Amino acid sequence: MQTSLPVALSAQLAMEKRLDTLANNLANVGTAGFRAEEVKFESVMSRASSRTVAFASQGQQYLSTRAGALTETGNPLDMAVAGEAFFAIQTPKGTVYTRDGRMQMSDAGELRTVNGEPFLDVGGAPLQIDPNGGPIHIAHDGMITQGGGQIGAVGLFKMPAGANLSRAGTSGVVPDAKAQPIVDFNEDRIAQGFVEGSNVNPILEMTRLIEVQRIFEQAANMIQTSENSLNEAVTQLGAPK
């Protein structure tokens, strides 16, 4: 049995998925708090012929948790995480975790995302300040001070080890296991007046994009060669003796 054709097709399917993730990553290079999407491929062994043949799997997608670069804005309503923790926000679909700490204050003093979703404290309650109470200060542990008094604390949450993250919106994620509130701020802390950018490395992603395109073309050439070989064999077998 000819195995080069199905092997090449499996490679093309795998590379098509990788191309989609690379294109999406590059499109969000400038998106605050965006987590790059990666794909893990494995070989699938099959007895497609008299010998074992290795096919490319369709790939398992996952979100990269590496940190993006922090940019100082000087805006007291901007905050970023130094470490691996996430902010929590309330959405119509439930709690979502994000690294995008750009806050906006509503007329009622609610601290919301740029999309209007409330930021939450460690207990899951929306954060609120006095709209007429003057500037706020956010400490490294998330404690919010306004007018000399403590009025709340920004919640920081850490993903459990081995948790799989699903994308929720542009910069949000949802884990498949319950996130844990941060109580020790030695490794994870908040930086007020900073914004974390996307963790996409555009140069690396462009290099990967070129590499994947080349592999896709090589697989296409293999398919064409396989088809030509098959057609030639059919022609020879069908020729009059």
Whether the per-residue pLDDT at 1 is higher than 50: the answer is no
Whether the per-residue pLDDT at 218 is higher than 80: the answer is no
| pLDDT at position 223 | 67
| pLDDT at position 45 | 42
- Tens of pLDDT, residue by residue over 41-92, are 554 444 444 555 554 555 677 898 899 999 999 999 999 999 999 999 999 9
Residue 39's DSSP bridge partners are 61
> Is the CB of residue 117 less than 8 Å from the CB of residue 89?
yes
Report pTM.
0.78
| pLDDT at position 173 | 95
Residue with tokens 């701020």: 185
- Tens of pLDDT, residue by residue over 123-165, are 999 999 999 999 999 999 999 999 989 999 999 999 998 899 9
- Tens of pLDDT, residue by residue over 170-208, are 899 999 999 999 988 989 999 999 999 999 999 999 998
Question: Alpha-carbon distance 104 to 139, whole Å?
Answer: 18
3-state secondary structure of 22: helix
User: Among candidates 157, 130, 161, which has minimal Cα distance to 146?
Assistant: 130
Question: Alpha-carbon distance 220 to 20, whole Å?
Answer: 18
Structure tokens at 173: 């994620």
Question: Alpha-carbon distance 224 to 227, whole Å?
Answer: 5
Amino acid at residue number 131? P
User: Among candidates 98, 100, 88, which has minimal Cα distance to 124?
Assistant: 88
> What is the pLDDT of the chain when averaged over all its residues?
84
Whether the per-residue pLDDT at 239 is higher than 60: the answer is no
